[in-house]
Amino acid sequence: MADHDRVRIGVVSVSDRASSGVYEDKGIPALQEWLTRALHNPIAWETRLIPDDEATISATLRELADVAGCDLVLTTGGTGPAPRDVTPEATLAVATKLMPGFGEQMRQISLRFVATAILSRQVAVIRGKCLIINL
Residue 90 is predicted with a pLDDT of 99
Report the chain's terminal Cα–Cα distance, integer Å: 30
Containing structural domain, residue 61: 3-134
Residues in Cβ contact with 106 at an 8 Å cutoff, skipping those fewer than 6 apart: 120, 122, 135
Question: Do the beta carbons of residue 70 and residue 103 sit within 8 Å?
Answer: no
The number of distinct structural domains making up the chain is 1
Among 84, 80, 72, residue whose Cα is nearest residue 107: 80
Residue 5 is predicted with a pLDDT of 77
Return the H-helix or E-strand segment holding 50.
strand 43-50
Please state the pTM of the whole predicted model: 0.94
Q: pLDDT tens across 31-67, in order?
A: 999 999 999 999 999 999 999 999 999 999 999 999 9
Residue 3 is predicted with a pLDDT of 62
* Run means of pLDDT, 10 residues per run, the chain, 135 residues: 80 96 96 96 97 98 99 97 97 98 94 93 98 98
CATH of the domain at 93: 3.40.980.10
